């Protein structure tokens, strides 16, 4: 019996050995999503002219800067007379003619939106404050922020015009969430609260134009349902799925990435999805800290995550404004997307170039070093604008992929270790029993 107890003890100790790689990152993708490194800001460009009264110009600056402080929207006021060569003037020229003062909002993904800041018969200060509030907040965004601050992440379902399709999409999203929820214990870092579903119905469309615009949805009343995955600090990760693309595999595939190791071989562009335009207040911050077990605003945490993300970003990781430029040498045999007119805040080259001025402009010769002009086009990262699932690009999801590569490799590793441990237990156990019988 003593020999049997020893055998049981050995078996128990072996079963407690760690089965995860010792080199695993201490953070998962969700956790990196709470750190704002300032590389994916929105920009609000305010335009004034020579005829704009001085008090209007000063109010424009004071109110917009104060309102957008502590948000992911940066502001710059431009005098159209003195700053005719400012690159943002191209944004103004691309919109229907507006009377000054006016404003244009630029997304990290490249799309721009004219924001009304004046209204006949109303004081400018009041209409400007209302415009700033609309840029940063809405009922759906408040709900999203409350959910992602605590939960694993969310699936946002934007309903279309057909109830039957909406029900199918809702059931599909629920199934994907259930699948991921059943695997939470298998994640590199356990996450207490599972993903949740947030549904936006057609009645909210008129009040959610900024939210729809941030997803690149131009239809004021979408005909088909859309679905997107959000996590961390209300970051949008992966493609925007539309209609038939809303499948359990597609949604689960993106959701599994959120729980994956931040250094598990996932393309760096997965780690810092585009944030929704919003203000992250102290209440939300506290909820996130309680959920994470650490403060994502800690300078040490920011430095560590900046290093992790920076290693993936490589030559794309540099600061500056949205219209900065950089000289890049691209080898002629490279398979990468052409890198020119790179935005100083962009985290990746834009696969779908957004030409603001001349969409027919000739492409540069990439066989030799390219000196980039200050701006001839605004190219932003567009990881979330993919709506077809055709190839394993960093921001598309294969329909057949139900888990990211890290989860699958970890499972294979775990199975291999368990097989080896089981074989060792059998061998040593047999030897012990044989010796016991001989005695």
Whether residue 176 sits in one domain with residue 131: no
Please choose, from the candidates 128, 26, 35, 137, the residue with its C-alpha nearest in 3D space to the C-alpha of residue 75.
Answer: 128
Which among 8-12, 93-97, 148-152 has the top mean pLDDT?
A: 148-152
* CA distance linking residue 128 with residue 116, whole number of Å: 8
Q: Which residues of 256-286 are buried (b: 16+ CB within 10 A; e: fewer)?
A: bbbbbbbbbebebbbbbbbbbbbbbeeebbe
pLDDT band of 391, cuts 50, 70, 90: very low
Work out the percent of the chain whose per-residue pLDDT is above 90.
Answer: 48
Handedness of CA 393, 395, 399, 405 (dihedral sign): positive
How many Cβ atoms from other residues are within 10 Å of residue 76's Cβ?
17
Domain of 109, in residue numbers: 42-135
* Statement: residue 259 has pLDDT above 60: yes
Q: Is residue 436 part of a domain?
A: no
pLDDT at 412: 62
pLDDT at 40: 76
Q: Beta partners for 19?
A: none
Q: Which of 135, 161, 183 corresponds to the end of one domain?
A: 135
DSSP string, 288-319: HHHHHSS-TT-HHHHHHHHHHHHHHHGGG---
Q: Is residue 332 part of a domain?
A: yes
* Statement: residue 396 has pLDDT above 50: no
Whether residue 289 sits in one domain with residue 213: yes
* Mean pLDDT (whole number) for 212-222: 89
Q: Is residue 23 part of a domain?
A: no
* CA distance linking residue 276 with residue 215, whole number of Å: 9
Whether residue 333 sits in one domain with residue 186: yes
User: What are the tens digits of pLDDT across the range 96-118?
Assistant: 878 999 999 999 989 999 999 99
CATH code at 85? 3.40.30.10
User: What are the tens digits of pLDDT across the range 318-327?
Assistant: 344 555 434 4
- C-alpha 56, offset from chain centre: 36
Average pLDDT over the chain, rounded to whole? 75
Q: Is residue 195 part of a domain?
A: yes
Q: Is residue 345 part of a domain?
A: yes
Whether residue 64 sits in one domain with residue 190: no
Whether residue 304 sits in one domain with residue 225: yes
Whether residue 157 sits in one domain with residue 80: no
* CA distance linking residue 59 with residue 48, whole number of Å: 11
* Mean pLDDT (whole number) for 83-105: 92
pLDDT at 23: 43
229 or 320, higher pLDDT: 229
Q: Which residues of 321-335 are buried (b: 16+ CB within 10 A; e: fewer)?
A: ebbbbbebebeeeee
Q: Which of 89, 111, 135 corresponds to the end of one domain?
A: 135
Q: Is residue 421 part of a domain?
A: no
* Statement: residue 80 has pLDDT above 60: yes
User: What are the tens digits of pLDDT across the range 276-305?
Assistant: 999 999 999 999 999 999 999 898 888 887
pLDDT band of 361, cuts 50, 70, 90: very low
pLDDT at 217: 93
Whether residue 153 sits in one domain with residue 85: no
Radius of gyration of the chain (CA): 26
Q: Is residue 2 part of a domain?
A: no
* CA distance linking residue 8 with residue 95, whole number of Å: 75
pLDDT at 288: 93
* Statement: residue 14 has pLDDT above 90: no
User: What are the tens digits of pLDDT across the range 167-194?
Assistant: 999 999 999 999 999 999 888 787 889 9
* Statement: residue 335 has pLDDT above 50: no
Structurally, the chain folds into a number of domains equal to 2
Whether residue 349 sits in one domain with residue 204: yes
User: What are the tens digits of pLDDT across the range 40-51?
Assistant: 789 999 999 999
pLDDT at 236: 93
User: What are the tens digits of pLDDT across the range 410-426?
Assistant: 556 667 777 787 777 78
Whether residue 199 sits in one domain with residue 106: no
Whether residue 395 sits in one domain with residue 352: yes
Q: Which of 86, 103, 135 corresponds to the end of one domain?
A: 135
Whether residue 65 sits in one domain with residue 145: no
pLDDT band of 263, cuts 50, 70, 90: low
Whether residue 249 sits in one domain with residue 397: yes
Q: Which of 152-161, 365-374, 428-437 has the lowest mean pLDDT?
A: 365-374
Q: Is residue 5 part of a domain?
A: no
């Amino acid at each position: 019996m003593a020999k049997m107890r020893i055998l049981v003890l050995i078996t128990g100790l072996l079963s407690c050995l760690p089965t995860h790689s010792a080199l695993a990152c201490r953070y998962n993708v969700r956790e990196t999503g709470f750190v704002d490194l300032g590389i994916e800001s929105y920009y609000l460009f305010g335009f004034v002219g020579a005829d704009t009264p001085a008090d209007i110009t000063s109010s424009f600056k004071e109110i917009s800067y104060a309102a957008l402080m502590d948000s992911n929207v940066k502001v710059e006021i431009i005098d159209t007379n003195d700053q005719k060569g400012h690159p943002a003037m191209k944004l103004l020229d691309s919109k229907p003619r507006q009377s000054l003062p006016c404003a244009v909002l630029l997304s990290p993904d490249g799309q721009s939106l004219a924001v009304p800041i004046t209204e006949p018969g109303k004081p400018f200060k009041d209409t400007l404050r209302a415009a700033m509030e609309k840029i940063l907040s809405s009922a759906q965004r408040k709900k999203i922020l409350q959910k992602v601050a605590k939960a694993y992440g969310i699936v946002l379902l934007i309903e279309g015009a057909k109830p039957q399709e909406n029900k199918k999409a809702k059931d599909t999203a629920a199934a994907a969430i259930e699948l991921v929820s059943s695997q939470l214990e298998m994640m590199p870092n356990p996450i207490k609260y599972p993903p949740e579903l947030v549904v936006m119905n057609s009645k909210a469309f008129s009040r959610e134009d900024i939210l729809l615009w941030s997803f690149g949805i131009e239809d004021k009343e979408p005909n088909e349902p859309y679905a997107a995955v959000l996590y961390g600090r209300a970051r949008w990760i992966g493609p925007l799925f539309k209609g038939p693309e809303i499948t359990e595999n597609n949604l689960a595939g993106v959701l599994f990435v959120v729980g994956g190791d931040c250094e598990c071989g996932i393309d760096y562009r997965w780690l810092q999805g585009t944030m929704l335009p919003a203000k992250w207040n102290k209440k939300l911050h506290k909820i996130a800290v309680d959920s994470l077990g650490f403060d994502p605003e800690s300078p040490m945490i920011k430095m560590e995550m900046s290093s992790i993300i920076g290693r993936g970003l490589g030559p794309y990781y540099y600061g500056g404004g949205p219209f900065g430029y950089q000289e890049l040498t691209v080898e002629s045999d490279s398979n990468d997307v052409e890198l020119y007119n790179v935005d100083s805040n962009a985290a990746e080259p834009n696969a779908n170039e957004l030409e603001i001025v001349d969409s027919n402009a000739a492409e540069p010769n990439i066989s030799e070093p390219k000196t980039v002009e200050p701006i001839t086009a605004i190219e932003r990262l567009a990881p979330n604008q993919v709506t077809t699932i055709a190839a394993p690009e960093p921001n598309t999801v294969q329909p057949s992929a139900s888990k990211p590569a890290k989860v699958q490799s970890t499972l294979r590793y775990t199975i291999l270790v368990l097989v080896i441990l089981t074989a060792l237990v059998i061998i040593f156990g047999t030897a012990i029993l044989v010796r016991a019988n001989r005695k």
